[in-house]
């Protein structure tokens, strides 16, 4: 058992549960981004090649944001590397979700 504080209250919980909660907390921004993407684009059904193209476009935006962060380029404040990293993860998750759904349908 370990102590975990949430919303100002301390709880005694099993270590495995604490690990799962911590993982969910870290994954929450990715899940939020997936929901935003679904709301914006609807259910996506792409070929593997199309998914890789979409993913690489997002990776390119992440690279640009990292360079702006590293070299202090204030001309593009919209390039937040954390947001771009979350988008990369969300697109990769969407890609894998599609193929998991297809394989479970057959």
Within a domain: residue 13?
A: no
Structural domain harbouring 80: 30-105
Within a domain: residue 72?
A: yes
Total domains present in the chain = 1
pTM as predicted: 0.76
Within a domain: residue 16?
A: no
Residue-wise pLDDT for 5-25, tens only, equals 767 888 777 777 778 778 888
Within a domain: residue 92?
A: yes
Within a domain: residue 6?
A: no
Residue-wise pLDDT for 17-54, tens only, equals 778 778 888 889 999 999 999 999 998 899 999 999 99
Within a domain: residue 14?
A: no
* HEC readout, the chain: CEEEEECCEEEEECHHHHHHHHHHHHHHHHHHHHHHHHHHHCCCCCCHHHHHHHHHHHHHHHHHHHHHHHHCCCCCCCCCHHHHHHHHHHHHHHHHHHHHHHHHHC
């Amino acid at each position: 058992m370990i102590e975990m504080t949430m919303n100002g209250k301390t709880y005694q919980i099993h270590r495995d549960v604490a690990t799962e909660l911590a993982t969910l907390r870290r994954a929450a921004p990715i899940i939020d981004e997936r929901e935003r993407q679904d709301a914006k684009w609807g259910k996506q059904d792409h070929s593997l090649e199309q998914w890789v193209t979409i993913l690489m476009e997002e990776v390119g935006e992440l690279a640009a944001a990292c360079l702006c962060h590293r070299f202090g380029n204030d001309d593009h404040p919209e390039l937040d590397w954390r947001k771009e990293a979350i988008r990369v993860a969300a697109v990769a998750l969407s890609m894998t979700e599609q193929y998991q759904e297809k394989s479970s349908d057959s």
